[in-house]
Every structure is written in C-alpha cells, then in structure tokens.
Amino acid sequence: MSEKKPNILIIITDQQNSRMMSCTGNANVNTPALDRLAKNGVRFDQALCTNPVCVPARFSLFTGLRPSEIKLRCNEDARVISKVSDAILANGMGHLLQKAEYKTFYGGKEHFPTFKAKDIGFTYFTRDERDQLARESAEFLKKEHDQPFLLVISFINPHDVCYMTINDYRENKEKQRTGKFKKLLTKLGLDRKRVELRNVLSLLEETENGKSPAVLPDLPKNHEPQTDEPEGVRSLFKRKFRGYARESWNELKWRQHRYIYAKLTEKVDEKIGQVLDALQTGPNSENTVVIFTSDHGDHDASHKLEHKTAQYVEAVEVPFLIKWNHVLPKGRVVKNPISVGLDLLPTVCEIADIKVAANNRFTGRSILPLIKADIEDTERWIPIECEVGRGIWGQDWAYVLYDEGTHREQLYNLKEDPGQTKNYKELNPDILEECREKFAKLYAEKPSIS
C-alpha cells in the first residue's frame, strides 16, 4: 500500500435489492460490472438498510445515525422536520473526510432530510443522476489528483420501476373518470427524464405487445401475501396505487413489473461499468477503494407488493461490495449481517485513517475487521425502522413489531423460511422471548405487545 491515503469511490443505486446481481445466482438479471467488482472484492450476503425508504436510509448512509435520531420514519417526515442539527451536519461524511485532507465530491441523487450534500461537506461535480453522471464520473477518474479524494456517485435507477405502478394506476383511474385512454408518460416526465424506463417499456411493447411470457421472469415463490399478514403492511395501501397493484394486477402484470425492474438494473449496471472501466484504465486504479451499495430494496412482487417500506427481506436487504487492492481478499462472500446505514461511515473513517472520537454518536462499526480476520459475528442484531414499525434482524431470525393493527408481532425464521411466508411466533417461544429482550436493548424500551 502506498504512503498516500487511499482514494475512496462510493457508488450508490436507488431501490436495488440484494439479489439483483447475477453474481448472487439470479438468472433474471445480468450485471457484469457488479459481478466483476464482486469477483475482485468482497460481497456481503446480508447487508441491511436502516429503513427501507429513500430519505431515512440516505440520512443514515452519510451520518452513521439511525433515522429515528431526528424522528424520521418515512420520506414525508422530512417535510415537518425543522432542521437537522449543526452537530450532525458537521460530522457528516464529507466534513469528516475533509478534516483528514481529502477532497470530497458528490454527484447524482441526494434526497436528504432538510439538507444537501454541500451541507455535509461535499462539492458537486454534477447534479445529473443518469448518463451524464456516468460520463463525468469517468472523466474524473481518468485524471490524476494531487490529494486523496472521496467520490460519491449516486445513480437514480432502478428506482424508475416505481412509475410503472403509478402510471398504470393513473391511466386506469382516468379511464374510469372520462371514458378515455390517455397516455400519462409526458405528464410524469418519463419521455424527458426517465429515458431508461421509456426504453424498457418500449422493449416490452415490442415483445408481442407485452403479452409473451417467454422473456418475463416467473413469479417469486413468496408471491402470495404472508399468512397472518400484519395489518401494518396493508396500511401502506393508503397510497392508493399500492393497493391497486395488489387488487388489480394479474400474473402477467406482476411478471412485467419484475422484467422492468431487472432491465432497469441492467441499465444502471452499464453505467457502473463505464465508471469502473475508467477507474481501471486510469491513474487511480491501484490506490482507490471501491464500495458499492444501494439505499434500500424493492419488494419485486413478493407478498404481492411492489415499491418498498415493509420489513420483508426484498426491501431491507441491499447489495454491499467492497474492493481494496492488496488489502482485502478477492471473491469472498461474508454471511454476517451488517447495517449499511450505520456501518458505512465508520468503515470509510477507518479506510481514511480517521480516529473517531470516543464520544461520537455512531452506533455502527467498521466492517473491515470482519473481513480481515475472516471471523463470524453471528450474535449481532441489526435495528431496522420503517414507517409502520420497527424490527431487529439477525443472521437466522428477524423480529418485527408493527405499530398498530392485528398481527403486530412477527417472528421470521430466515433460515427455514427466507421468503417470510409465515409467523413463527407460536412455534418458537424461546426465540421470541430472546428477541423481545434484544429489541428492548436496541430500542431502549420493552416491546409493547398488548
């Protein structure tokens, strides 16, 4: 390793769940760029977000704090939060790295609560979230830099899959009101901004008008709603387009949604490939640590859900890859659970040789010792918050307590039933009690189950 501190490249996608990489064995998607990164680095098999929606998850990624620290449970909460404190902003990722003599750059999607990337110590190099972001990132990496840099590249996709449901709901509701069919792609800006989604929809139309199942993924094994589904999950249907998908979509529509999700993931993988190619052929290749992750996942037709938010593995588990030449092993898969939102910033600090003060508010930890020592940390439980409940996730079990409604308390056996098709609460009373105790410790309050 050279005397110069390593550069750090962080690539983030939006709404990509952990299985949306072909290196995980998913035959429905082809991601050569991410597969190459995994082959030359380390892949975490159980990387969990702090909250499966954009604003809370992204707050954690760049502050190392739980979203509940600022009373943030959903995107809409950001509208009522007056201001994130100066103390939190001063200890944001960019500011901490600047103190260690890094130059810090940010491009792409932000979606933070009440603040911008510049408020946590970053300089923008582009605001684009798509093709231009990839091009300008590649140009940056082709150049030599006189100081170590932290470069964050934040792509919008595969998030555009959200607009399939919204568009379908609005089109059909408009037909019901007016008796006319009216394309809403222009209204939603799909023809102008969301060009990847427009292109994928065109592919679907060209395949026998979207009616040929030959190119479409099968439904997931856990497509049907969970037995004893929490009422808290169904409460998400207050956003009417979400309830519309479950009530109105047939098998073909769900499979088309999965196809679009996979193709949007492949499109962003192409952009990531441009960035990684520029890094590999440029002057920064040997001394740049590469980290890839996503803010949260997508339900991807599991439990007859799309979008995100509920505490199912498809929404809360995200990819996490890290490559550090000559320091970390190649091709290793780590099974231990980690919290991407809580662990990313401590990990970045260790890479940059930043000694975090003993009185810091981080509750996460660097994941580097886990890799270097090749140890198992099977006892760790990860807190995950969401709009309608809170949970703790371990390697084999997940315990989720929804805020209200029937079937509030859920115990999932992730080893025997990874699709979370039923509640194991009555079958495993000892595990249930252990989880209640761990929940009380992680949230500093006993779970109210009355």
In a 3-state reduction of DSSP, which class is residue 207?
Answer: coil
CB neighbour burial string for 122-156, b if at least 16 within 10 angstroms, e if fewer: beebbebbbeebbbbbbebbeeeeeebbbbbbbbb
Q: 396: how many CB neighbours lie within 10 A of its CB?
A: 13
pLDDT of residue 215: 83
Rounded to whole angstroms, the Cα distance separating 247 from 38 reads: 39
**Rounded to whole angstroms, how far apart are CA atoms 398 and 286?**
39
217-231 confidence digits (pLDDT tens)? 999 999 999 989 999
Q: Are the C-beta atoms of residues 363 and 276 closer than 8 Å to each other?
A: no
3 state DSSP class of 385: strand
Give me the half-sphere count of Cα atoms (radius 13 Å) on the Cβ side of residue 393.
25
Q: Kindly report, as residue ranges, where domains of CATH 3.30.1120.10 are found in the chain.
A: 382-443
What's the pLDDT at 189? 46
Instruction: Kindly tell me the burial class for residue 166, based on how many C-beta atoms sit within 10 Å of its own C-beta (0-12, 13-18, 19 or more).
Output: middle
Q: Tell me what pLDDT residue 80 has.
A: 76
In the chain (450 residues long), the average pLDDT of successive 10-residue segments reads 84 98 98 99 98 97 95 82 90 97 98 94 95 98 97 97 89 61 45 69 70 81 96 93 94 95 97 99 98 98 97 99 97 96 97 81 90 80 97 98 96 98 97 97 77
Q: Which CATH number fits domain 382-443: 1.10.10.10, 2.60.120.10, 3.30.1120.10, 1.10.287.1080?
A: 3.30.1120.10
Dihedral of CA 416/420/421/425: which sign?
Answer: positive
CATH number of 7-159+265-372: 3.40.720.10
- pTM comes to 0.94
Give pLDDT, residue 187.
Answer: 45
3-state secondary structure of 233: helix
Determine phi and psi for 10, rounding to 5 degrees: -115, 120
**Cβ neighbours of residue 77 closer than 8 Å, sequence gap 6 or more:** 55, 56, 71, 113
Beta bridge partners, 21, equal none
10 Å CB burial of residue 342 (0-12, 13-18, 19+) is buried
Residue 196: what pLDDT? 78
The encoded tokens of residue 294 equal 């996503």
Residue 225 CB-density burial (10 A; 0-12 exposed, 13-18 middle, 19+ buried): middle
Instruction: Give the tokens for residue 291.
Output: 């980290």
Compute CA distances 447 → 9, 236, 374, 398, whole Å: 40, 22, 34, 14
Residue 24: phi, psi to the nearest 5? -90, 0
